[in-house]
Amino acid sequence: MEHLIEELKKEIIEVLNLEEMTPADIDENAPLFGEGLGLDSIDALELIVLLEKNYGIKLQNANEGKEIFKSVRVMAEYIKEHRTK
Amino acid sequence: MSIFIQGISQISIQQPLSEEWFDAPVIPHTIMSPSIDPDFGKYFSPMESRRMGVLIKRAIATSMDVMQKTGLNMPDAIIAGTGIGCIEPTEKFLTEMIENDEECLPPAAFSQSTHNTIAAQMALKLNCHGYNCTYAHRGTSFDSALFDAFLQFKLKKIESALVGSYDTMTENYFLMLSKLDYWKSDFCGIQQLRHSKSSGSISGSCSLSMMLSSLPSPQAWCELKDVEMFYRPTILQIKHNLNSILLRNELMLSDVDAVVMGWSGDRDNDDVYYELKEHCFKDVPLLWYKQLFGESFSASAFGTYVASVCLREGRIPKHLFFFPEDFEKVKNKPRNILVYNHFHDRDHSLILLSK
Amino acid sequence: MTDIVVTGLGITSALGVGADDNCTRLLDGRSGIGPMHILRSKHTHLPVGEVDCTNAELREMLFVEPDAAITRASLIGAAAMREALFSAGLLYKDRSLRVALVSGTTVGGMECSEQFYHDFLFTKEKNDYIELHDCGSSTDMIALAFPGQFDMVTTISTACSSAANALILGYNMLQMNRADVVVVGGSDCLSKFHLNGFKSLMILDDQPCRPFDKNRNGLNLGEGAAYLVLEREETARNRGISPLCVFSGYGNRCDAFHQTATSPDGEGAYLAMTEALRMAGLQPSDIDYVNAHGTGTINNDESEGKALMRVFGDKMPMVSSTKSYTGHTTGASGAVEAVISILALLHDFVPANLNFSEKMDSLTFKPVSKVKIGVELRHVLSNSFGFGGNDSSCIFSKIS
């Protein structure tokens, strides 16, 4: 799990182009949107693509992301359960 | 209502956000000379710029710079020109779409790919709810944007406007255009661009932001007197258009101190300017600028820029004269400068600037 | 200020080529949205509003050589242009008139670039479509189909409000006497590029779109072109042409909220509509029908609906989104829907907002769900909003 969280942080930094950020800067328990990391709706869509590309998880609509992207930890847990690759 | 150019900021082959080129120009040595970027750090945070391509970064930097220098921070209108828009994200999305067979595509790249992203990002940055528009008409994109602003000033719809033009070159687009003979295949220095018998020019990028306002101020660079655009004109129609623009502004041709033209070193492009010299501007000194800023769909913005700086400085440096002997002809401070631009002899534009 | 009137119309959409076909289908309530036939995308499950003509058929219709390089967007545009010029009595140009063309487009020649991109980069020979990639060339090709017709040409690209902004520049040029006639509008054809783009934003419905419905789930893309001939009332009178309606006001405002999302209270839309009303010298109660932007996305309809409530309060005029007929014709939609609004004004009907069944919780009004015939319309307002918050509204008024 911790390994997946680490991996995920790196992927998020890369796909969202969070220049000058390191995995250590992301608190895996903090919200990704709004108060926490301050991401927006387009970032959410990028994360949906990340889920599909890297883990074979296909979401049907953007709303499903809301629960999954609560924090990096929640996201990792979801991936662990649903990944197809 | 009078319209004043209060300031202009640019990022190009020349030193950024400055007029250093006026006396000490950077001489392009390669066919695809890069732009010199300033430190973007002071214009936006890394979080803000996480999705910005280089074009948007430059556009925001030149716009913020010109607003800071003129002290005008909330324009009534934001109007942009761009020939090909945000080509980097466009190519990214297009390439991935082809390579990944329409699967798993990057939404951020698509959302940044529309041409109006530049003007919209500026509005977002300034929280500006005013008029917002983007022109994408090849080599007269800037001229169209300026024309729009000009009409709105005259109709008293606005009292200030941020007008700019933005284009950058990617390796792919450079390659595509080279198949259309856009670039000199045997480039060996800018002296080759003068009286050239071959096709092609040198490539440059453009980010230029201009602040216009109807309030006179001591810092204003010059006055924008007129903008006119025409399509596929005959030389007779050009003469007619020139006469009506002069008449409208109560000027004679002899009052025009110089004409800035888009000589680029491309034979077909320059032929139009030779013809103009012969039929319309026989005794008027002619200036050029693409030898310093390169060719791009937004390059014509530099024509207005160069003319504005000459009016501000009250002199024309020798290196801007297309025919070097004309330098001796300009004895007084320039008061009226025309800017003539055409794209492929289809779209033509004429801009009149005065001290 | 002199009156700017509309003296000619042309439209090519999923409802057909020509105003008559479009009008008939609007009156009959028959949508043009259906399965993909012409666009070669793998996402065939997505319904689209295609112009029901192949490129070969369009070439034949317009007398364009089979091997001449021209994009579908330009072909569709030229078809609408021909009708617009013809209906305004301008197909054979009067040399004394200064005629300008202002056209909007979003993706320009992308439909060809995506087919030939590999060739563009890797084959030695020049591919003629390289030159047609950008937005400006798309307009240029339309202008070239009518030699000698235009004295000034330019292109606007503000995403889905492009054509509405073309109307605005045209209006200003006429007020400033920089032209006698301005043909304004826009043209866009479907491309895999923007179909996949909208898909990546997860705002495409795989069912026919349901604007302003509680269960709406996105938009359907469409293609089309439309042009309006604008001139000063005096010019029309001198030419002996009777105007169809008055272009009485416009507003262009920026939402300045987010690159793709619209603000929850529809600030940009609200400002654009109120500015158009102010300029036209009208009260909200003077508007009889609003042709909404109404894409069918969760976000747009919510925020446009809120903006409409802010402008019109409890006196909501009849509202419908005709994107349920044509699909979202992106850069052309401002003109396609302006033409539809004017057809409604001329024939006194209100087109239906198809596929509507349940009112949205957050809105106090329902769109018109069945075509209304025989309602007298005096002023109609057409909304066009684009990515980046480029919001524009135009008002057309019956000749009094």
Q: State the pLDDT at residue B330.
A: 87
| pLDDT number for residue C44 | 97
Of B102, B117, B129, which is closest to C41 when you measure between CB atoms? Answer: B102
Confidence of residue B62 (pLDDT cuts 50, 70, 90): very high
Compare CB distances from A46 to B46, B47, B107 and report the shortest one's residue: B107
Report the residue from C126, C157, C386 with minimal CB separation from B85: C157
Q: β-pairing, C318-320 with C245-254?
A: unpaired
Residues B200, B237: one domain? Answer: no
Same domain, B133 and B248: no
Residue C27 structure tokens: 């009156």
Question: Terminal CA-to-CA distance of chain B, rounded, Å?
Answer: 16
Identified catalytic residue from C133, C194, C328, C379: C328
CB distance B322 to B313 below 8 Å = no
Residues C95, B253: Cα–Cα separation, whole Å: 27
Considering the domain boundaries, does residue B305 fall inside one?
yes
Residues B206 and B324 in one domain: no
Q: Which residues of chain A have pLDDT under 70?
A: none
User: C25 φ, ψ to 5°?
Assistant: -70, -30
Q: Flag whether residue A41 sits within 8 Å of chain C, measured between CB atoms.
A: yes
In chain C, list all ranges with CATH 3.40.47.10: 4-239, 248-397
Q: Do C200 and B106 touch (CB under 8 A)?
A: yes
The CA distance from B133 to C165, in Å, is: 7
Of C117, C165, C172, which has the smallest distance from its Cβ to B151's Cβ? C172
Residues B135, B33, single domain; the answer is: yes
Question: In total, how many domains does chain B have?
Answer: 2
Closest-CA residue of A relative to B105 is A49
Q: Do C258 and A62 touch (CB under 8 A)?
A: no
Residues of C in contact with B180 (CB under 8 A): 126, 130-131
> Any catalytic annotation for residue C160?
yes
Burial of C21 from C-beta contacts in 10 A (0-12 / 13-18 / 19+): middle
Q: Which amino acid is it at C390?
A: N
Q: Are residues B293 and B207 in the same domain?
A: no
Which ranges in chain C belong to alpha helices (H)?
19-28, 55-62, 72-87, 110-122, 135-144, 162-175, 192-200, 233-239, 267-280, 298-312, 323-326, 333-347
**C254 part of the active site:** no
Between chains, do B132 and C388 touch, taking CB under 8 Å as contact?
A: yes
Cβ atoms of C249 and C8 closer than 8 Å: no
pLDDT tens by residue, C132-176: 999 999 999 999 999 999 999 999 999 999 999 999 999 999 999
φ, ψ of residue C286 in degrees (nearest 5): -75, -20
pLDDT tens-digit series, residues B184-214: 998 889 899 999 999 999 999 999 999 999 9
CATH number of the domain that B243 lies in? 3.40.47.10
Q: Which residue of A has its CA nearest to C206?
A: A60
B111 part of contact set with chain A, CB < 8 Å: yes
Q: Which of B213, B239, B266 is the last residue of a domain?
A: B213
Tell me which chain B residues have a C-beta less than 8 angstroms from the C-beta of A38: 47
Instruction: Please report which helix (H) or strand (E) contains residue B134, including its range.
Output: strand B131-135
Q: How far apart are CA A47 and CA C101, in angstroms?
A: 43
Helix (H) or strand (E) holding B54: helix B54-70
The counts of H helices and E strands in chain A are: 4, 0
Which of C160, C209, C245, C394 is an active site residue?
Answer: C160
- Both B200 and B308 in one domain: the answer is no
CB C220 within 8 A of CB C210: no
pLDDT band at C80; cut points 50, 70, 90:
very high
Is C293 one of the annotated active-site residues of the chain?
yes
The verdict on residue B218 lying in a domain is no
- Segment C385-392 shows an average pLDDT of 94
* Domain assignment of residue B151, given as a range: 4-213
Quote the pTM value.
Answer: 0.97
What is the CATH number that goes with domain C4-239? 3.40.47.10
- Examine residue B203 and state whether it is found in any structural domain, yes or no: yes
Q: Do C200 and A49 touch (CB under 8 A)?
A: yes
Lowest mean pLDDT among A8-17, B127-136, B159-168, B303-312: A8-17
Q: DSSP secondary structure string, B247-279?
A: HHTT--GGG--EEEE---S-HHHHHHHHHHHHH
Interface of C with A in 206-235 (CB under 8 A): 217
pLDDT band, residue B110 (cuts 50/70/90): very high
Same domain (yes/no): B193, B280? no
Tell me which architecture the domain covering C248-397 has in CATH.
3-Layer(aba) Sandwich (3.40)
Q: Which of C227, C232, C223, C242 is nearest to C326 (CA)?
A: C223
Q: How far is CA B66 from the centre of its chain?
A: 15
Residue C258 has what pLDDT? Answer: 85
Q: With cut-offs at 50, 70 and 90, classify the pLDDT of residue C91.
A: confident
The four Cα atoms C141, C142, C147, C152 give a dihedral, to 10 degrees, of -100
Of A13-27, B13-27, B250-264, least confident by mean pLDDT is A13-27
- My answer on whether B311 and B341 are in the same domain is yes
Please give, rounded to a whole number of angstroms, the shortest distance from the CA of B130 to a CA of chain C: 5
Min mean pLDDT across A30-34, B195-199, C247-251, C274-278 is at: A30-34
Dump the DSSP string for B179-217: TTT-B-TT---GGGGTT--SS-B-B--EEEEEEEESS--
* List of chain B residues whose C-beta atoms are within 8 Å of the C-beta of residue C251: none
Q: Is residue B143 a part of any domain in this protein?
A: yes
d(CA B179, nearest CA chain A) in Å: 34
